[in-house]
Amino acid sequence: MKSAAEQLEVLSHGIDRIVPEDELRARLETGEPLRVKLGLDPTAPDVHLGWAVVLDLLRRFQELGHTAVLIVGDFTAQVGDPSGRSDTRGRLSANEVQAFAGSLLDTIKGQLLPEPLEIRYNSEWLGSLDMAGVLDMTSQVTVAQMLERDDFSKRMAANEPVSLIEFLYPLLQGTDSVAVQADVELGGSDQLWNLMVGRQLQTRAGQAPQVAMTVPLLVGTDGTKKMSQSYGNYISVRDEPAEMFGKTMSIPDELMAEYFELASGLPAGEAADLVQSVDDGSLHPGEAKRALARAIVARHHNPEAAVAAETAFDAVFKDKGVPEEVPVEALLAGDPVWLPGALAAAGVVTSNSEGRRMVAQGAVKVDGKAVGTEEVPRAALVGQVVQVGKRRFVRFVD
């Protein structure tokens, strides 16, 4: 195993905070494998690059010989994490959470090493809590401590409601740390307060308190909000290469340094050199962004897919053409054809309502010309390439 200093160098790349760092160094110096906890609530069906940032850190711990303890928050997802929220998060049903968990777990495991890996569901210990257990848990943190939390205090000052169930969430997350005896817990920068509650609960339980490590929150493709499926500003690790390349090319230039550091998977020195080359004017931002898009696609697919994705991107945007390979779908019956429904059936929009919205925005083109109506003569669609937005294409056939 590497020395503590060598391990800290590997683990510190792209980190926001280590609290307290001297405790992490002391635990690494023992030479004993650490139990490194990451809790993820299955509240959406996909894994985006923002999640990949913290999953990458967990994998680095694995590569150094430490045990990754992945907590699937099937219980806490029904409560809702208030971190960074300006309102109360809507609660999910148990069935919704289970469906999301099934969709996510294989993808998450694909970001990690198969060993050493421990996967736990927190309903295992939280689902059996009785009233006595809940009262004991709530007795360990004061209301004053809860109100020290920034997002709670801001909402209270603005006379916005904070529900009691939101106060419970950090306690439930901390109870997870006690249950698995975590040495280290990972999270986004908005999670630090919750992670520190875990330290407090572990101390009360007679355990050595965990070290908290946080990573920056990756800003989404809109350039303003954190990457989130609920905001629609995300790049999925499961996106097809061309879609992933195109979405990366759409990010604002000022986000490139952040994406190079957190999402590219490039060695730290190489990523820093590319950013510096843009800053000193020796590399055009457009070329740097292409290098970023290739790196992200290669990381989540392979280098060959990255080259093909760039070629497809050029065919659409640089040469203003159509990709060489366009999906072919059977056109819905009827004449005229209701275009939003046909697009949804072909899978190029997620729903009829999205199809209607894209048509209304002039974002649907047939043979390069914007469609101005939802009903289109069948003959105008059969055999034609239909473009939705910038990167989605389909050719309809009878």
Residue-wise pLDDT tens digits, 187-231: 999 999 999 999 999 999 999 999 999 999 999 988 889 998 878
pLDDT of residue 389: 83
Separation of alpha carbons 398 and 381, rounded Å: 9
- Asked if domains 4-215 and 328-397 share a fold, the reply is no
pLDDT at residue 142, as a whole number? 87
Give pLDDT, residue 320.
60
* Percent of the chain scoring above 90 in pLDDT: 54
Query: Mean pLDDT, to the nearest integer, of 226-237?
Result: 88
State residue 367's pLDDT score: 74
Residue 82 reports pLDDT greater than 70: no
Which has more pLDDT, 136 or 384? 136
Average pLDDT score over residue span 261-281? 93
Q: How confident is the model at residue 166 (pLDDT cuts 50, 70, 90)?
A: confident
Per-residue pLDDT at 264 exceeds 50: yes
Q: Which of 38-47, 65-74, 212-221, 273-282 has the lowest average pLDDT?
A: 38-47
Q: Return the pLDDT at 280.
A: 93
Sequence-distant (≥ 6) Cβ neighbours of residue 220 within 8 angstroms = 50, 226, 227, 228, 231, 233, 234
Sole residue written with tokens 């430490």: 66
Phi/psi at 273 (nearest 5 deg)?
Answer: -65, -40
Cα–Cα distance, 104 to 37 (Å, whole number): 18
Instruction: Give the chain's mean pLDDT.
Output: 89
* Orientation angle between helical segments 339-346 and 352-360, nearest 10 degrees: 120
Residue extents of the structural domains in the chain: 4-215, 241-318, 328-397
- Indicate whether 366 pLDDT > 60: yes
Among 92-96, 138-142, 282-286, 362-366, where is mean pLDDT lowest? 92-96
Q: How far apart are the first and last CA of the chain?
A: 62
Q: Which of 98-102, 257-261, 319-323 has the highest mean pLDDT?
A: 257-261
3-class secondary structure, 236? strand
pLDDT greater than 80 at residue 84: no
Residue of higher predicted confidence among 38 and 345? 38
Predicted local distance difference test score (pLDDT) of residue 165: 82
Main-chain phi, psi angles of 328, to 5 degrees: -110, 130
Average pLDDT over residues 35-48: 90
298-307 core/surface letters (b: 16 or more CB in 10 A; e: else): bbbbeeebbe
Average the pLDDT over 141-151 and give the result. Answer: 83
What architecture (CATH level 2) is domain 4-215?
A: 3-Layer(aba) Sandwich (3.40)
Query: Which pLDDT score, from 0 to 100, does residue 86 have?
Result: 46
Architecture of domain 328-397: Roll (3.10)
